[in-house]
């Protein structure tokens, strides 16, 4: 079957599935045991790492084409930051396998070819997943399996396949056509696919000694026919109910709770756009933990808490590989600001994704992410408000762009307010900055930093913070930022993170001191307007590129 035939068949199948009556999700809540409730209540996580160890393993194999890649070196590196003194990592949720479930262990449900390195380890008597799970338990850490609901088609040796997954060819109704991936994504509107995935998850749940499973919708959307995601939401709810019931059966058989988490968008509207009825999931007791977002720093913990209640734990996620636009590998002050805001807004725990496994000297020999040492510091600080108290922070407004691999809301940050053009008629724009800390007896000072593009030499700006008029203490027309590309579109996130400054870039940096009476912990409104025009740059529009609040503590 060629690509055109495949797309035509999958499109037709998706239309047939979309035309079926909705699955009714208005059922009674599932019954949870007292032991299950108790396990959820007593599970106190600080930092959860979603550990993309499959990607690291593929890179490790490439570094050893001769086939001699010792498992113990790989294993020790995978736990490097976890094992450092002072680590606040309380849970590892292993992200293994992606699109080819079964290829990473001898599966009877989905017996697909294993990567060569996995085959080698198995010949040597090493079940690498079992060892990683057992090593996590030996450290007395929580251990979950993360299941990517709709990963792209990946070859066993790594890289993207030119052919669709055999099951997509065999069952075209299991496929949702997408604009960005030629083979389409998995379609949860298909009953057969739901049953197949539950069978895979049952095998995983009974094979490995796990505390829980996370259903990861971040990789990727759509998982329902585009344009009808909310209309067909009950199909996803039905899938969540099937998974929950299956895990409760395993729970009863083994005599120990088996928790269920799911990763969903960071706002209630975003969940709705992608067909995730989280309010119904909570009402029917289908989920214990909601992981919120992936590459977003502005997570609506309050709104989702109001929707799902207090029985479901909420943990925002921050991906520092496909990072929020403009802030890849930002300084520790920025990471403190992101995670402190999460906790100030009511998060139960936080998750990191696509972070380094260790310092470069540890990560490089096994093919891990090479990242700044801010990750090392963050793993010892960002798990509680107490360990971030009285430490410098940077709070920022979210930027759009940088993620083309989705037909839907998840990961794209399309509703983020920046960049934002300024009106030439003098009308202000209004933006919200979340600040986790509060003025503390003069022990902290706050500086607002506004980065503008295309501002003229004599343009004047009026900025108010919490209604208080500010004056600029710094005006720098030579400011450069390698992660701002305006007026060109932002590139896709990820890659090596090696950004080059454009010497022709025209940015204006304005720094303004914010008096204590002008700011508070929580939401702060910032107003910006052009108060006087100088000589305009032909064809240009002045716009706000970044808006940050820099909090600095000093000794009394």
Q: Mean pLDDT, 10 residues at a time, over the chain (556 residues)?
A: 53 50 67 96 95 93 91 97 98 79 72 84 94 98 96 82 92 96 96 96 95 96 97 98 98 97 98 98 98 97 98 98 96 98 98 97 96 97 97 97 95 97 94 93 89 93 97 96 90 89 93 93 96 77 97 85
What pLDDT shows up at residue 11?
54
Has residue 114 been placed in a domain?
A: yes
Say whether both 457 and 524 belong to one domain.
Answer: yes
Say whether both 127 and 273 belong to one domain.
Answer: yes
Phi, psi of 412 (to 5 degrees): -80, -25
Residue bearing tokens 């030579």: 478
Last residue of a domain, one of 396, 430, 463: 396
Burial of 538 (0-12, 13-18, 19+ CB in 10 A): exposed
Number of compact structural domains in the chain = 2
Last residue of a domain, one of 396, 412, 432: 396
Say whether both 127 and 62 belong to one domain.
Answer: yes
Say whether both 124 and 196 belong to one domain.
Answer: yes
Q: Taking Cα atoms as reference points, which of 388, 328, 326 lies closest to residue 354?
A: 328
Residues 6 or more apart in contact with residue 524 via CB below 8 angstroms:
432, 433, 434, 435, 465, 466, 549
Per-residue pLDDT reduced to its tens digit, 26-73 = 589 999 999 999 999 999 999 999 999 999 999 999 999 988 899 999
CATH number at residue 483: 2.60.120
Has residue 256 been placed in a domain?
A: yes
What pLDDT shows up at residue 105?
81
Helix, strand, coil shares of the chain, percent, nearest 5, are 30, 20, 50
Say whether both 356 and 450 belong to one domain.
Answer: no
Say whether both 175 and 76 belong to one domain.
Answer: yes
What's the domain range around 427?
Answer: 420-553
Has residue 373 been placed in a domain?
A: yes
Mean pLDDT score of the chain: 92
DSSP, residue by residue, 411-467: TT-TT--BSEEPPTTSPPEEEEEEESS---TTSEEEEEEEEEES--TT-EEEEEETT
Do residues 444 and 551 touch, judged by C-beta distance below 8 A? yes
What pLDDT shows up at residue 48?
98
Has residue 230 been placed in a domain?
A: yes
Q: Taking Cα atoms as reference points, which of 279, 341, 272, 265 lies closest to residue 311?
A: 279
Residue bearing tokens 């759509």: 222
- Centre a 10 Å sphere on the Cβ of residue 145 and count the other Cβ atoms it contains: 21
What pLDDT shows up at residue 103?
59
Has residue 34 been placed in a domain?
A: no
Has residue 26 been placed in a domain?
A: no
Say whether both 326 and 388 belong to one domain.
Answer: yes
What pLDDT shows up at residue 102?
41
- Please name the helix (run of DSSP H) or strand (run of DSSP E) that holds residue 261, with its range, or none: strand 259-264
Say whether both 115 and 162 belong to one domain.
Answer: yes
CA distance 116 to 51: 21
Do residues 297 and 291 touch, judged by C-beta distance below 8 A? no
Map 121-157 to HEC letters.
HHHCCCCHHHHHHHHHHHCCCEEEEEEECCCCCECCC
CA distance 80 to 363: 9
Say whether both 193 and 300 belong to one domain.
Answer: yes
Has residue 214 been placed in a domain?
A: yes
Say whether both 259 and 384 belong to one domain.
Answer: yes
What pLDDT shows up at residue 4?
53
Say whether both 77 and 186 belong to one domain.
Answer: yes
The angle at the Cα of 160, spanning 1 to 406, to the nearest 5 degrees, equals: 95
Has residue 317 been placed in a domain?
A: yes
Query: Which residues pair with residue 451 across a beta bridge?
Result: 509, 546
What pLDDT shows up at residue 536?
65
Per-residue pLDDT reduced to its tens digit, 175-232 = 999 999 999 999 999 999 999 999 999 999 999 999 999 999 999 999 999 999 999 9
What pLDDT shows up at residue 455?
93
CATH number at residue 138: 3.20.20.80
Residue bearing tokens 């925002």: 316
Query: Which residues pair with residue 48 across a beta bridge?
Result: 91, 351
CA distance 311 to 398: 29
CA distance 243 to 40: 17
Say whether both 197 and 264 belong to one domain.
Answer: yes
At 174 the three-state DSSP class reads helix
Q: Where are the beta strands (DSSP E) in 459-533?
A: 460-465, 468-470, 472-479, 507-514, 522-532
């Amino acid at each position: 079957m060629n690509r055109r035939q495949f797309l035509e068949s999958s499109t037709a199948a998706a239309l047939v599935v979309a035309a079926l009556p909705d699955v009714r999700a208005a059922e009674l809540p599932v019954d949870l045991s007292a032991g299950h409730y108790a396990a959820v209540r007593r599970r106190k996580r600080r930092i959860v790492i979603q550990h993309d160890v499959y990607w690291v393993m593929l890179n490790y194999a490439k570094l050893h084409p001769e086939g001699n890649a010792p498992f113990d070196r790989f294993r020790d590196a995978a736990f490097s930051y976890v094992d450092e003194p002072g680590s606040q990592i309380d849970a590892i949720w292993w992200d293994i396998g992606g699109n080819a479930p079964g290829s990473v262990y001898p599966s009877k449900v989905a017996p697909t070819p294993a990567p060569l390195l996995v085959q080698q380890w198995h010949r040597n008597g090493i079940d690498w997943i079992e060892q990683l799970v057992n090593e996590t338990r030996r450290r007395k850490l929580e251990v979950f399996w993360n299941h990517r609901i709709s990963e792209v088609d990946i070859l066993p040796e790594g890289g993207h396949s030119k052919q669709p997954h055999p099951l997509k060819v065999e069952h075209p109704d299991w496929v949702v056509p997408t604009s960005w991936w030629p083979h389409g994504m998995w379609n949860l509107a298909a009953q057969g696919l739901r049953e197949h995935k539950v069978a895979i998850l049952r095998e995983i749940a009974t094979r490995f000694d796990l505390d829980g499973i996370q259903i990861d919708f971040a990789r990727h959307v759509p998982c329902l026919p585009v344009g009808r995601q909310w209309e067909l939401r009950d199909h996803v709810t039905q899938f969540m109910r099937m998974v929950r019931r299956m895990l409760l059966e395993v729970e009863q058989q083994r005599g120990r709770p088996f928790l269920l988490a799911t990763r969903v968008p960071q706002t209630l509207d975003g969940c709705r756009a992608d067909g995730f009825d989280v309010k119904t999931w909570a009402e029917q007791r289908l989920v214990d933990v909601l992981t919120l977002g992936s590459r977003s720093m502005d997570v609506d913990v309050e709104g989702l808490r109001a929707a799902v209640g207090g029985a479901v734990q909420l943990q925002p996620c921050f991906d520092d590989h496909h990072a929020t636009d403009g802030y890849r590998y930002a300084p520790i002050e920025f990471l403190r600001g992101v995670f402190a805001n999460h906790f100030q807004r009511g998060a139960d725990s936080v998750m990191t994704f696509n972070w380094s496994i260790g310092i470069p000297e540890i990560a490089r020999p096994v093919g891990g992410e090479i990242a700044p040492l801010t990750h090392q510091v963050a793993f010892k600080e960002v798990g509680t408000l107490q360990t971030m108290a009285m430490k410098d922070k940077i709070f920022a407004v979210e930027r759009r762009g940088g993620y083309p691999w989705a037909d839907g809301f998840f990961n794209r940050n399309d509703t983020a307010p920046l960049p934002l053009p300024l009106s030439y008629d003098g009308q202000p724009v209004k933006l919200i900055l979340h600040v986790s800390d509060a003025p503390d007896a003069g022990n902290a000072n706050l500086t607002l930093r506004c980065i503008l593009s295309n501002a003229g030499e004599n343009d004047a700006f009026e900025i108010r913070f919490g209604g208080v008029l500010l004056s600029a203490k710094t005006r720098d027309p030579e400011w450069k930022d390698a992660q701002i590309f305006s007026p060109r579109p932002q590139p896709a996130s990820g890659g090596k993170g090696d950004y080059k400054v454009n010497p022709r870039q025209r940015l204006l940096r304005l720094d303004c001191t914010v008096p204590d009476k002008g700011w508070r912990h929580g939401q702060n409104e910032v107003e910006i307007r052009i108060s006087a025009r100088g000589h305009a740059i032909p064809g240009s529009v002045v716009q706000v590129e970044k808006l940050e609040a820099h909090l600095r503590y000093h000794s009394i």
